Amino acid sequence: MTKSLHSVYLRTLMILMLLLPLPAFSQEDRIVVGSKNFMENKLLAEIFAQLIEARTNLSVERRLGLAGTQVCFEALRTGAIDLYPEYTGTGLVSILKQPPTGDPRTALNVVRAEFLQRWDLWWLNPLGFENAYALAVPRSRTAGIPLRTISDLVKIAPSLTGGFGYEFINRPDGLPGLEIRYGLAFQRVQAMQQSLKYQAAAAGEIDVLDVYTTDGRLAVYDFVVLEDDLHFFPPYEASGLIRGSTLAEHPELGAVLGLLTHAFDDKTMRHLNYRLQEGGEPPDVVARDALSALHLFTSDAAGTRPVSHQEGLFAYMWSKRTDLGGRIIEHLTLAGLALGLGILLAVPLGLLLERQQAIAEPVIRGIGLTQTIPSIALLAFMIPVFGIGMLPAVIALWMYSLFPIVRNTYSGLRDAAPQAVEAARALGMTEWQILHWVRLPLAAPVIMAGIRTAGVITVGTTTLAAFIGAGGLGVPIVAGLQMANTTVILSGALPAAALALVIDGVLGQVETWLRPRGV
Amino acid sequence: MKLPVMSVRGVSKEFGPGVRVLDHVDFEVVKGETLVLIGESGSGKTTLLRMFNGLTHPSSGDVRIHDKPVRIQDPINLRRRVGYVQQDAGLLPHWTVEENVGLVPLLLGWESEQRTSRVHALLNLVHLDPQQFRARYPIELSGGQRQRVAFARALAADPGIVLLDEPFGALDAITRHELQRQFLSLKQRLNKTMVMVTHDVDEALQLGDRIAVLKEGRLLQIGTPVDLLNAPVHDYVVQLLRHRSHGVFS
């Protein structure tokens, strides 16, 4: 009997070890470039990154597609990234919480002074274009109506539906301020994902939408961009925002990035954005061309194929197999670390709770509350404390993995063959022997079922790690959402679903394997 | 007069205020006898049995084994020296018959060969062929076979005292009669001091040297089967005996 019991432990140990892949961390001297999760910002970050790579000896790590201004700024402030592209108006209103100003020069001076003094963060020279907010109306909706300015819009707004991005609806320099300045009131306001608005407007489902002045789609969709006749929208000059300590350590960065001063105008930017958004070209290719056009960079690109919307899904995935393979490894590393750490805490905790019945239910209910936090919110909570990247993602995923394992460990031990436990006690087994010889072997399949549930949840939730720059199969999903390209979305979603199925199958097999004979 | 092996003195048990399951119970069990505790569900008979190996303790009064209160004995050592059989056998489902029977010897640290030979002897004693049954798991046994294994397990370390909690209660009538018959012959050969709980009056009359009748936590009468039949001291005892089938003593 001792032999069979030992082999149960041995198996469990082996499985735990398999679930703990060892990540290779290397800390070299490098610049971390971040970006927000929209195309233009990613492109600018890619331009920064390639220029630094071409003109300095520094290596560059890219953390592109972080979820929004708050995440990016916190990442920069805490040193998780060194540099990212930002807009003066955003700095003024979203970060400094100051009232918008209509004058670009004042805006730049204010953010420069305040960021330097408060956080030792430097605004580089403007890149030369403004990506300001504007309101647009499909031309088909303007037939017979003189509609040129926002003031014109005010008159007919009560019969119109507005479709706006979540950020625009909430920012003081977005819809709320606009309503006050112009006395604007729509019949209905619909919150929409950035990339869906254009299609919705073209299909006539919404009448007015917020656009960025450099949006490439403005060249394709026949929209009237309304003039901001009361000068409400603050200037949104694009610039690099960089940590003072990074500049001090690598002064050459100031000179190199200075080469981009006033390098892009609105028209150039709209054209580059068009290639990204509608052409489906990856940011690194477009960035390389942009730098070549400025003679800052010699193009040696062999021409990465743009994503065609007609291309078959599997052909596309095959062409991306190296990238997807890397994403799968990232994905499994994140999920495996989170699950492994989850097991390390949750199984002993379940054992402890079985000995402390009085506190068991409250503790388990408390851990259950983590499941009610929306995953994207939990990931966002991690940023101020742990920065961005792998660490906060693993911690958030780890928190999600705890509940099913703790619950199953506890109830598996508690409910394991009560008559056998009673007999074991009556014949003189100590509580420790009962745990070791009776409860644990009998509860092993139940505990494993909890680990299996946690594994499937973790593999699914890991797709969200892309929002805080941790990589994984969420990266193509997020990119595909921004490009409104189903092929790209599926190239991430399909492997993620397949991984979940495989994990479920493998852990299900382990569950069977751990089931003691005779049960 | 033989020295009592076990004694129960002024034992009461309450589960919470006003929930009294035993009410000032007194009796003794002498060496080599089989005492049957009989009563309906809720009479307190199982609670009383569990006091002999310290699975539960009285609220007041005391239970002694060899004149030493159970309360002050090390429960683990005590339980390893007292056999125990429960209604549903309570075999460890993931252990073989051999492992189950060898449980207490294992706990007592016997050598492996010593355990094996003891297990084989006991399986023969309860009429199970060791070669056929030793490697089986409880799920591969019939109800009667499982109960035989439970008996063998209780006797494995040769305890002087065996406690039995409705050991035949879950069996069909034919298997029950067969096991009761074999129990009688074993009992005479082994000379153990036993306390058995049952609600079956035929079983009590057939297997008990003495019978203690419990009702709602009170001990109504204790005596030999003949005492109870000839001189019942309580209406309930009369009523209880009326439920027996005829021909028990034939």
Neighbour order of strands in the sheet with B68-69: B20-30, B4-14, B60-65, B68-69
Residues B55 and B164 reside in one and the same domain: yes
In this prediction, residue A232 carries a pLDDT of 86
Mean pLDDT of A268-286: 86
Residues B16 and B59 reside in one and the same domain: yes
pLDDT tens digits for chain B (250 residues)? Answer: 567 899 999 999 998 887 889 999 999 999 999 999 999 888 889 999 999 999 999 999 999 999 899 999 999 999 999 999 998 889 999 999 999 999 999 999 999 999 999 999 999 999 999 999 999 999 999 999 999 999 999 999 999 999 999 999 888 888 899 999 999 988 888 889 999 999 999 999 999 999 999 999 999 999 999 999 998 998 999 988 887 775 444 3
In this prediction, residue A10 carries a pLDDT of 58
> Count of domains in chain B?
2
Chain A interface includes B125 (CB < 8 A): no
CA distance to partner chain A, nearest, from residue B34 (Å)? 20
pLDDT: which is higher, A421 or A279: A421
The answer to whether B93 contacts A420, with C-beta atoms less than 8 Å apart, is: yes
CATH number at residue B14: 3.40.50.300
CA distance to partner chain A, nearest, from residue B88 (Å)? 7
CA distance to partner chain A, nearest, from residue B188 (Å)? 24
Residue B25, domain member (yes or no): yes
Q: Write down which residue in B116, B141, B159 finishes a domain.
A: B159
Q: Write down which residue in B159, B179, B204 finishes a domain.
A: B159
A 395-424 residues with CB below 8 A of B?
417, 419-420, 422-424
CA distance to partner chain A, nearest, from residue B150 (Å)? 10
Residue A225 — pLDDT band, cuts 50, 70, 90?
confident
Residues B130 and B203 reside in one and the same domain: no
Residue B86, domain member (yes or no): no
Residue B111, domain member (yes or no): yes
* B86 vs A1, A423, A519: nearest CB: A423
The answer to whether B88 contacts A419, with C-beta atoms less than 8 Å apart, is: yes
Amino acid (one-letter) located at B236: Y
What is the chain B residue with the closest CA to A434? Answer: B92
- Helix (H/G/I), strand (E/B), else coil: A56: coil
Residue B119, domain member (yes or no): yes
Residue A23 has pLDDT above 90, yes or no: no
Chain A interface includes B137 (CB < 8 A): yes
- Residues A67-102: tens digit of each pLDDT: 888 889 988 998 889 999 999 988 988 899 888 777
**What is d(CA B159, CA B232) in angstroms, rounded to the nearest whole number?**
34
Residues B52 and B10 reside in one and the same domain: yes
**What is d(CA A12, CA B61) in angstroms, rounded to the nearest whole number?**
48
Amino acid (one-letter) located at A421: V
How far, CA to CA in Å, does B125 sit from each of A88, B97, B118, B137, B161?
93, 14, 10, 19, 18
In this prediction, residue A50 carries a pLDDT of 92
Residues of chain B in contact with residue A518, where contact means CB-CB under 8 angstroms, are: 93-96, 137-140
The answer to whether B94 contacts A422, with C-beta atoms less than 8 Å apart, is: no
How far, CA to CA in Å, does A322 sit from each of A329, A335, A484, A486?
11, 20, 23, 20
Residues of chain B in contact with residue A6, where contact means CB-CB under 8 angstroms, are: none
| List of domains in chain A | 30-129+236-306 (3.40.190.10), 133-225 (3.40.190.120), 321-514 (1.10.3720.10)
Residues B18 and B68 reside in one and the same domain: yes
Residue A195 has pLDDT above 80, yes or no: no
Residues B229 and B249 reside in one and the same domain: yes
Which of A58-62, A213-217, B124-128 is predicted with the least confidence, judged by mean pLDDT? A213-217
Name the residue with tokens 């409400």. A232
Query: What token pair was written down for A100?
Result: 């918008």
Write down the mean pLDDT value for chain A.
85
Residue A307 — pLDDT band, cuts 50, 70, 90?
very low
In this prediction, residue A298 carries a pLDDT of 52
pLDDT: which is higher, A165 or A300: A165
What is the chain B residue with the closest CA to A430? Answer: B76
* A430 vs B76, B94, B163: nearest CB: B76
Residues B58 and B167 reside in one and the same domain: yes
Picking from B92, B68, B183, the residue whose alpha carbon sits closest to that of residue A5 is B92
In this prediction, residue A224 carries a pLDDT of 87
Residue A2 — pLDDT band, cuts 50, 70, 90?
very low
**What is d(CA A344, CA A342) in angstroms, rounded to the nearest whole number?**
5
Residues B149 and B193 reside in one and the same domain: no
Could you tell me the residue range of the domain that residue B107 belongs to?
91-159
In this prediction, residue B75 carries a pLDDT of 94
Residue A302 — pLDDT band, cuts 50, 70, 90?
very low
Residue A273 has pLDDT above 70, yes or no: yes
In this prediction, residue A338 carries a pLDDT of 95
Residues B55 and B166 reside in one and the same domain: yes
Non-local CB neighbours of B21 within 8 Å, separated by 6+ positions: B13, B14, B15, B42, B44, B47, B217
Residue A306 has pLDDT above 80, yes or no: no
Residue A1 has pLDDT above 60, yes or no: no
Residue A470 — pLDDT band, cuts 50, 70, 90?
confident
In this prediction, residue A38 carries a pLDDT of 84
In this prediction, residue B203 carries a pLDDT of 92
**What is d(CA A189, CA A174) in angstroms, rounded to the nearest whole number?**
13
Residues B184 and B250 reside in one and the same domain: yes
What's the alpha-carbon Rg for chain B, to the nearest Å? 18
Residues B67 and B6 reside in one and the same domain: yes
Q: Write down which residue in B144, B159, B174 finishes a domain.
A: B159
Residue B31, domain member (yes or no): yes
Mean pLDDT of A462-473: 87
Residues B5 and B77 reside in one and the same domain: yes
Query: What token pair was written down for A285?
Result: 């290719």
In this prediction, residue B249 carries a pLDDT of 47
In this prediction, residue A26 carries a pLDDT of 37
In percent, the amount of chain A with pLDDT more than 70 equals: 91
**What is d(CA A253, CA B129) in angstroms, rounded to the nearest whole number?**
87
- Residues A399-410: tens digit of each pLDDT: 989 999 999 999
Non-local CB neighbours of A170 within 8 Å, separated by 6+ positions: A176
